[in-house]
Amino acid sequence: MVAFLAAAGVLAAPRDPFPLDRAAEQWVAQTLKKLTLDEKVGQLIVPSFESNYLSTDSDTFDALTRLVREYHVGGFHVFGASIPAPSVLLNSGYGTVILGQPMSVAFLVNRLQALSSVPLMNTSDFETGVGFRLFGATSFPRQMAMGAIPGDDGLRLVREEARITGIEARAVGVHVNFAPIADVNNNPRNPVINTRSYGEDPARVSALVSAYVAGARDGGMIATIKHFPGHGDTDVDSHLGLPVVSFDRARLNSVELVPFRRGVDQGAQAVMAAHIELPALDPAASTPATFSKPILQDLLRRDLGFGGIVYTDSMSMDAVTKLVSPGEGAVRAFLAGADQILHSPDPIAAFNGLKDGVTTGRVSQAQIDQSVERVLRAKASLGLHLRRAVDLDAVPAAVGGRAREAIAQEAFTRAVTLVKDDRKSVPLAVPRETPVLYLSVVDYPAGWQIAAPSRTFIPELKKRWPQVTAIEVSDHTSASDLDFVRASVPRYGAIVASVFVRATSGSGRMDLAPELVKLLKDLARVTERTNTPFVTCFFGNPYTASFVPELPAMLLTYDFYDPPERAAVRALAGEAAIGGRLPVALAPQWPVGFGLDRPAR
């Protein structure tokens, strides 16, 4: 049966995202038949653990054991560590991430798998690769940086990213990745998606989502397209409140839903529901998509023909915790159409809520069986019915390494985008002995920990131009110190600034302080009079560049930390070609797809 768009009046054909062989089908049927009600309800609960070393004789391990043995949970969500080792505490751009260790995860997963009567199917947010959570694994650029890599090269690198992430995730016992983000970020004030999106062009976002889903399949991992039905045009962080998307169905069909439709058609096996309210799809007040039957069943299941697993977003986010208790939240999400209740603030309360719902008749046994069957089919498709433990001896060869790092570095390099170069200063052609003033312009100093801005840029710059004077300024810098910077400019033969601005969950901030914007504009005027090269590199929120159009030369990386800083210096020095293209519009003169080319010299 040919699938047509529901908007055209014809429903999409349902599809099976978990095709199984005969033996696997038998395992699913036999397992489902023998499960008790408690065991079935448990399969729908996904609590979390942190990837620290964990003694068997500890309260935390006892709690995890209880969740497996007494509550029969379907799997665990893997976070980073809670106790930082030196050099592994990073700010993710939307919250502090403490990186865990691959061996700690793999070892703990094996111990928990051995306790479980049904294989566990574990999840994680490896949005930029397994290195996003685990130290030593491969880290790729943020999705917006990947979206800046033009043409087929972008599709190739996204698919390869997903394949590598799948291999590394499976090596440590994680089976489901909550990526790719299919949100179309067409709101510059979006505080939670921003650089996590591939961009604002629905067609390009769709193509990259499709490439990621295919690559995840190559790597043996289940990809999850999120945050359905589209979190890109919001200006409220759902970690803090309930965003409202007020567009009509026609607009949603032409923008927000396009990448999700493409991902489902590509065979995506999981979808994550967003904690966002969409009155055009469900007029019920204070009803996020997570709790909406019209969105999860009518739109996603019926209209888009999705037959895979529906995950909630974290049920610990304020968008839902301020609305309902953990038990009621689990029931409402399940009734709406979710199969897996993720990261509840109280997983036991979530379990009890669902079980009580069945015994009182509020939740049907048939719907429980249907969701459990999907979960079991997913587990069988991963081969967990045959082998659930990971090979600990294989982890060092399967996770990280120079070959994969080289692929990731290629992506960081190809993403660099030159949007302006009025004085032809890029690449920087001043002699090696030229005194260079380097400014690290930081949104605010807190939260960076040891992943301090410019920690790689400064030493890399000094390798090329040894006479570098480095100064950091932020919203805490005094007016007199900023005046000192202005007065110092004539002493230098070139000025390089790096601007670091986060769109960070929980901070409520995503801008550069006005006094720092004024400083950059003043430097542009001063260096214009003296014809001094002045190049600004932007890290993180790319929309910051639109507030300083007077700057003579601007490079964008869409990311933070060592690899993009290294890539920016190489581009500045002419050691790498520049060919990135804007995945989002910054101004009328800088539309989507714009970018200046510079060959390597």
Question: Which two three-digit tokens encode residue 542?
Answer: 């790319």
Question: Which two three-digit tokens encode residue 593?
Answer: 């797809």
Q: Which residues contact 370 (CB under 8 A, 6 or more apart)?
A: none
Give the span between the Cα atoms of 142 and 154, in whole angstroms: 13
Residue the block writes with tokens 């969740």: 67
Give the span between the Cα atoms of 493 and 530, in whole angstroms: 10
Type of residue at 567: A
Which candidate, 486, 493, 450, 444, places its Cα nearest to that of 468?
493
Enzyme catalytic residues: 239, 313
Give the span between the Cα atoms of 555 and 421, in whole angstroms: 9
Q: How far is CA 62 from the centre of its chain?
A: 31
Eight-class DSSP state of 422: T
What Cα–Cα distance (Å) separates residue 138 from each residue in 93, 134, 135, 402, 419? 18, 9, 9, 9, 29
Question: Which two three-digit tokens encode residue 335?
Answer: 């009734």
Question: Which two three-digit tokens encode residue 70?
Answer: 């007494």
Euclidean distance between the first and the last CA atom of the chain, given in angstroms as a whole number: 55
Eight-class DSSP state of 255: T
Q: Which residues contact 556 (CB under 8 A, 6 or more apart)?
A: 148, 416, 417, 418, 419, 537, 538, 542, 545, 580, 582
Torsion angle, alpha carbons of 209, 205, 259, 201, to 10: 180
Give the span between the Cα atoms of 107 and 386, in whole angstroms: 19
Question: Which two three-digit tokens encode residue 192?
Answer: 């939670």
The helix or strand, by DSSP H or E, that contains position 254, with its residue range, turns out to be: helix 249-254
